Chain A
Amino acid sequence: MLKKLTWPNVAWATLALPTLAAILGISLTACKILPTPSAENGGNASAFNADKMVGDIWAAKMVPYLEQKAGPFPEVHALAKADPAAAGAKYGNPKKQANSPWTFAVRLEGKIVAANTQSRAATMDVDADGDGKADARVQIGPAMRGTALRDSLDFIQFNDFTNQIEFAQFGKAFNIHADKTVLSKLPREALEGRSARVVGAYVLGSGQDLPLVTPAEAEIGPKP
């Protein structure tokens, strides 16, 4: 809100030209990566297809972005606790909404010390620093919480979407895609003691719970 240069008196004229604004929006933020849904289908909201949009950017844009941005979990989380803004600048999405917590891209490797596969929102707890205690909880689906994958990407903006519903459907489509292409293929039995390797994102929380990592890539090693 403070970034913007002083509006000249043509502010109203600019606002009166939503089409121009839309074109500008596309060329600046979305065109190369993700067509604005309403522009792509001539404003017909029912043609919005979040699954297809995510499928189109998953391997081409998102995974490379996370791979490049992610830091090792112990490092990211230590910095996040000490200095969230510094961690945000390095591993987070600086274009996040003003009052949202930071979402960090992260690489998590370690030993699975606990797992909950009874819930449909299944998780595994991973010890990343070798002290035998869980450092992070990884969602392994099929039900998954939140929109961490969407929110970790600096090339995705709420203003590129028609409304909250499409923005949210787009967020959920990442979880569905992760479940379908990665997580549903993971083993579910006797996970404790096996090694795990994950690239994904997590939201810096304020509660007592373990950091909840949503994976875009995940591997589980053989039984020890």
Chain B
Amino acid sequence: MILTRRMTFAAFAGMLALGAAAPANAADLIAIITPSHDNPFFKAEAVGAEAKAKELGYETLVLVHDDDASKQSELIDTAIGRGAKAIILDNAGADASVAAVQKAKDAGVPSFLIDREINATGVAVAQIVSNNYQGAQLGAQEFVKLMGEKGNYVELVGKESDTNAGIRSKGYHDVIDDYPDLKMVAQQSANWSQTEAYSKMESILQANPDIKGVISGNDTMAMGAHAALAAAGRKDVIVVGFDGSNDVRDSIASGGIKATVLQPAYAQAQMAVEQANDFIKNKKSPAEEKQLMDCVLINGDNAAKLETFALTN
């Protein structure tokens, strides 16, 4: 694995050198469109993509669609209007985004998707997505272990319109449902939101004081749930998140949240820009449109190595 990584880095470095040898036209623009930067995960994507694009000599246009498909459509129009050579997109819905990506393609602007899939192939040039299902299985296995394979638990689910909310929930249950002594007493959406998770957790806890664990579809909701549990004096409740944020890293280090799953957001965004660069300069598409990137379990053993959605060695 180490060797493979080195080879990947070598390949990246090679492309980088190529990029340096033939710098992009100063006017060449790459649009980077993601959900709101309020969530540090999406910010890391935008920062990673922007850094790589500038390194390769592009100008950047960084925009946020706030998970609103009609706003996303307007932003795609803006990118087309500004003459972007490529769009790096973390999309606002697997079905709702197909038309927007198609519109860009029809206007001759290739899209490189990160983080979330869309329900169509042949429309975007690349879809580089985290293997959310594999990641959810990792998180759930750790959760099962922490729970001692039994007890009552709560699941906090993400925003329904986001494909990954459903994928993660399915991945969790894929593992947890193999253990009949683990009983889910509540399952609610907190829409990826920390404040919503806090208030939902408060009321769930009132109705179900006998809970032993909370598995959450992302880190911001895990932070909210953990804060509500701590406020109620229930620091004994096991909380597991998903994303690998610095906030949860710090919580793990101080004995709060027990585990999360890292999505390589920063590396993924950079990889998308490299593929866009290759397409713009050499007319080369990636070998496969849909590319899966594995997630990594983060717990007390490796949390210290986590920084801005990347593991250091």
Contact = CB atoms under 8 A, between A and B. Distances in A.
A164 B122 contact: no
A98 B285 contact: no
Interface in B263-299: 264, 275, 278, 282-294
Contacts of A85: 3-4, 7
B11 interface: yes
A204 interface: yes
A17 B121 CA distance: 10
Contacts of A223: none
Interface in B140-183: 141, 144, 149, 163, 166-167, 170-171, 174-175, 178-179
Contact of B1 (A101, A119, A158, A172): A101
A11 B293 contact: no
Contacts of B141: 121, 145
Contact of B125 (A8, A15, A147, A158): A15
Contacts of A32: none
B112 to A, nearest CB: 12
A83 B121 CA distance: 36
Contact of A147 (B7, B134, B170, B283): B134
Contact of B290 (A11, A12, A143, A158): A158
Contact of A97 (B108, B117, B123, B293): B293
Contact of B11 (A2, A8, A11, A83): A2
B220 interface: no
A209 to B, nearest CB: 11
Chain B, interface residues (CB within 8 Å), range: 35 or more
A46 interface: no
A159 B289 contact: yes
Interface string A76-115: 0000000111001000000001111110000000000000
- A1, A16, A169, A207 — which one has the most chain B CB atoms within 10 A of its CB? A1
A190 to B, nearest CB: 22
B147 to A, nearest CB: 12
A22 to B, nearest CB: 8
Contact of A172 (B11, B174, B179, B291): B174
Contact of B284 (A7, A15, A21, A143): A7
- B8, B122, B123 — which one has the most chain A CB atoms within 10 A of its CB? B122
Interface in A111-131: 119-121
- A3, A98, A142, A204 — which one has the most chain B CB atoms within 10 A of its CB? A98
B1 A102 contact: yes
B194 interface: no
A119 B287 contact: no
In terms of DSSP, what is the predominant structure of the interface of chain A? loop
B121 A18 contact: yes
A84 B180 CA distance: 38
A84 B285 contact: no
A3 B291 CA distance: 15
A163 B131 CA distance: 10
A200 to B, nearest CB: 18
A1 B149 contact: no
B178 A11 contact: no
B290 to A, nearest CB: 5
Given A7-B284, A98-B293, A18 B120 contact: yes
Contacts of B132: 164
B278 A164 contact: no
Contacts of B133: 164-165, 167-168
B27 to A, nearest CB: 21
A51 to B, nearest CB: 14
Contacts of A6: 282-284
B134 A168 contact: yes
A159 B105 contact: no
User: Top 3 closest A-B pairs, CB basis?
Assistant: A18-B122, A143-B178, A168-B133
13 contacts: A4-B285, A11-B285, A12-B105, A18-B121, A83-B3, A84-B3, A97-B294, A101-B4, A145-B137, A147-B134, A159-B288, A164-B167, A206-B1
Given A98-B4, A99-B4, A165-B133, 19 more contacts: A2-B11, A6-B282, A15-B123, A85-B4, A85-B7, A97-B291, A100-B292, A119-B149, A121-B178, A145-B141, A159-B121, A159-B289, A164-B131, A164-B292, A165-B170, A168-B133, A168-B170, A168-B171, A206-B1
